[in-house]
Amino acid sequence: MYQDILFPTDGSEGTDQLAAHVGSLAEQYDATVHVVSVLDTRNRFEGPNMGLGESVWSETERERAETVVEEATAQLPADIAVDRYVESGVPHKVILEHADRADVDLIVMGTHGRTGIDHYLLGSVAEKVVRHATAPVLTVRIG
């Protein structure tokens, strides 16, 4: 049923919960897991990163994303196939593009379940993926 599972992660709290779900499904269906971390390229020179040169910012963020991918991969069962990716762009768009390009059968991602003003201000990558994905999306409440 599932040959390719997309596991997008930003390394936030709850990655272990997601990895448990992804690992279980991958073992059950002998699926390949695509672990993806996205370097969010929006507004990188506003806020806490302000003043960092573009190359310094990019290098630092890429290293962080690579660490996130490796940590998520380490939480998956050792006997499953894993492809690792670090991509740049707007997170929900990159996730959707990767899902289509890799022709994944399932996307598994976390949601913090924010409501009210937090949801309005922060939005939800998971919600945008659920609304626009062509593959089924399994969301896991974390945090």
Average pLDDT of the residues of the chain: 87
DSSP per position, 23-86: HHHHHHHT-EEEEEEEEE-TTTTSGGGTT--HHHHHHHHHHHHHHHHHHHHHTS-TTS-EEEEE
Question: b vs e for 75-100, b when ≥16 Cβ sit within 10 Å of the residue's Cβ?
Answer: bbeeebebeebbeeeebbebbbebbe
Q: Which two tokens stand for residue 59?
A: 């290098």
- The pLDDT score that the predictor gives to residue 122 is 44
- The pLDDT score that the predictor gives to residue 45 is 52
- Using DSSP's 3-state secondary structure scheme, residue 18 falls into helix
46 or 30, higher pLDDT: 30
pTM here?
Answer: 0.86
Residue 133 has pLDDT above 90, yes or no: yes
Give, as one character, the DSSP assignment of residue 115: -
Ordered by start, the domain boundaries in the chain are: 4-141
- The pLDDT score that the predictor gives to residue 115 is 58
Q: What dotted CATH number matches 4-141?
A: 3.40.50.620
Neighbours of 120 (CB within 10 A): 9
Residue 113 has pLDDT above 80, yes or no: no
Residue with tokens 């310094």: 56
Quick: pLDDT tens for 45-80.
555 555 556 777 788 889 999 999 999 999 999 999
